[in-house]
Chains A and B, each alone.
Chain A
Amino acid sequence: MIPDLGKYAGPVLAAYGGSILLYVVLIVAVIRKNKMAKRALDKAETVVE
């Protein structure tokens, strides 16, 4: 199933690994920040009510 990457296997895998890692970190950070903001707003609205 793994394609034959030949002598450039290292650079190709490094490019895919590094990029996917950066995107995953970004997505997780965005989701976490969104959840924290939602919780902070819920708390502030509860106190005001």
Chain B
Amino acid sequence: MNIWKYANPRRFIVVTDRLLPVLIPLVALSLLTALFWGFFLTPNDYRQGSTVKIIYLHVPAALMAINAWVMMLVASLIWLIRRHHVSALLAKSAAYVGVVFTLVALLTGAIWGKPMWGAYWAWDPRLTSFLILFLFYLGYLALWAAIDDPDTAADLSSVLCIIGSVFALLSRYAVNFWNQGLHQGASLSLDKEEHVADVFWQPLVLSIAGFVMLFITLVLVLTRTEIRIRRATALNKRMPSK
């Protein structure tokens, strides 16, 4: 199977034309079910009280914030090595979506932190690396916006993405590296002893699946948008000036 044929913008549009009508109802169904289940049908935690319900928003957002950057890293490397324009546009689109997921993770984390830790913010390794990751997202998008030539913008933002990957990985593994700070360990683990109780775990997994599909859907739609903008710009340039 030759995956590079999907790097053709025309083929990308054709494939996503078929994918999006399947993805959109799946996103709506899984998110509505997961959030309804998590908010209305799960009990309060004996220690955290009702704030435990925030995990259905916080955990998927944090997970996707990091994974979006990893996806951007892969797409950026493909751009730098193989010069496929679709990969550069995928990375740019993932950043637009990823920055919102990062903001949601920071916001919900702060709101949860106040009643549980007594503070909205602490300079804990995971929180700090996450804040730096958020600033990298802003810098990455600013770099794309600041440079007129799309290839130069893609080159420079790809380099920034590679540098920012250190903080994405640090955000992911900070709780494992350091046994200090306020942030607890991962909520999900393959070790059944370590992750949250089943009553919270099941809607959480559904919520994660829903937000993963939401991310993919939005990135695909935005990439199609970027392809159309490029095509329109190229056609406008080709027209004789009046």
Contacts and interface: CB of A to CB of B under 8 A. Distances in A.
A and B bind: yes
Interface of A: 1-9, 11-12, 14-16, 18-19, 22-23, 26-27, 30-31, 33-34, 37-38, 40-41, 43-45, 47-48
B61 interface: yes
> Chain B binding site: helix, strand, loop or mixed by DSSP?
helix
Interface stretch (B126-134, B138-146, B154-162, B218-226): B218-226
Contacts of A33: 222, 225
Nearest to A7: B49
A8 B50 contact: yes
Nearest to A29: B96
A34 B232 contact: no
B51 interface: yes
A44 B234 CA distance: 9
Contacts of B235: 41, 44-45, 47-48
7 contacts: A3-B39, A8-B51, A12-B51, A26-B97, A26-B100, A30-B218, A33-B225
A48 B238 contact: yes
B232 to A, nearest CB: 4
A30 B218 CA distance: 7
B122 to A, nearest CB: 16
B239 interface: yes
Interface of B: 35, 39-40, 44, 49-51, 53-54, 57-58, 61, 96-97, 100, 103-104, 107-108, 111-112, 114-115, 214, 218, 221-222, 224-226, 228-229, 231-232, 235-236, 238-239
B241 to A, nearest CB: 13
Given A15-B112, A19-B108, A48-B235, A5 B57 contact: no
Nearest to B237: A44
B221 to A, nearest CB: 6
> Chain A binding site: helix, strand, loop or mixed by DSSP?
helix
B231 to A, nearest CB: 6
B51 A11 contact: yes
Contacts of A34: 221-222, 224-225, 228
B103 A15 contact: no
Given A3-B40, A37-B225, 4 more contacts: A8-B50, A12-B51, A15-B57, A19-B107
Contacts of A41: 228-229, 231-232, 235
